[in-house]
């Protein structure tokens, strides 16, 4: 068990995940919408052209193309067709039972929301910086591998008791096995590290971590997951 001082440095709401759509993604979507030579389009025009290509189609048809691009290896054709219709009314980045697909559904919905001026649900994510300070340098080693689980345990202690993360995952937060953690924290970047402290840049769904915006500086304890180590022994 390790003790840290947890300090929220910033907190913002996002409607688009940082760097989630790259030029090659827009080119792939353009090909799907029937554009012959996307490589000839100037890089700064790719997004607008891809959005225009999508809006030439019916919303559900566009949703199907976007999901095919994002989930070609994970979902069947029938699943994609059903989910494309659900996307028009449902927040699949929150409601779908497969947590590891939430980030992909967010990316899909944010793009389609932009393309169709709000015919799809509005997607909201959160981005914040948090500083973790430990009594000694050794404590920071728990973030060397699989940092999401020990970090979530610290963040949860700064949120209200009725927050969704605590209600659904109280056993994982209290224990040493939290396999869902990487599907809850979508992007995690060490922004600054010193001998006994580290600053993380965190991107996640507002569904899970919006309550962290109320957190003050506090003391919290955490522990790394031990499942991987046990499996190796």
- E strand or H helix at 61, and its extent? helix 59-71
Structure tokens at 196: 């006994």
pLDDT in tens, the chain (233 residues): 999 999 999 999 999 998 889 999 999 999 999 998 888 999 999 999 999 999 999 999 999 999 999 999 899 999 999 999 999 999 999 999 999 999 999 999 999 999 998 899 999 999 999 999 999 999 999 999 999 999 999 999 999 999 999 999 999 999 999 999 999 999 999 999 999 999 999 999 999 999 999 999 999 999 999 864 443 33
**Residues paired with residue 126 on neighbouring β-strands, in sequence order:** 13, 204
pTM equals 0.90
Output DSSP code: residue 88.
T
From 93, 103, 92, 74, select the one nearest 188 (Cα to Cα). Answer: 103
Q: Residue 39: CB partners within 8 Å, gap ≥ 6? A: 27
């Amino acid at each position: 068990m390790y003790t840290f001082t947890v300090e929220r440095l910033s907190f913002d709401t996002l409607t688009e995940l940082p760097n989630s759509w790259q030029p090659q993604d827009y080119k792939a979507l353009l090909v799907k919408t029937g554009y012959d030579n996307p490589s000839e389009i100037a890089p700064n025009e790719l997004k607008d052209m891809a959005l225009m290509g999508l809006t030439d189609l019916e919303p559900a048809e566009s949703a199907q193309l976007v999901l095919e691009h994002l989930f070609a290896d994970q979902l069947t054709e029938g699943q994609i067709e059903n989910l494309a219709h659900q996307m028009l009314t449902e927040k699949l980045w929150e409601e779908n039972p497969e947590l590891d697909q939430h980030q992909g559904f967010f990316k899909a919905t944010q793009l389609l929301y932009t393309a169709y001026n709000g015919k799809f649900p509005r997607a909201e994510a959160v981005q914040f910086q948090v500083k973790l300070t430990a009594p000694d340098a050794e404590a920071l080693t728990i973030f060397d591998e699989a940092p999401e689980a020990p970090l979530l345990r610290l963040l949860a202690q700064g949120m209200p008791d009725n927050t969704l993360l605590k209600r659904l995952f109280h056993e994982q937060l209290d224990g040493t096995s939290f396999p869902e953690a990487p599907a809850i924290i979508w992007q995690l970047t060490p922004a600054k590290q010193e001998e006994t402290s580290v600053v993380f840049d965190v991107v996640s769904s507002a569904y899970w971590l919006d309550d962290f915006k109320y957190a003050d500086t506090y003391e919290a304890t955490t522990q790394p997951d031990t499942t991987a180590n046990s499996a190796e022994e």
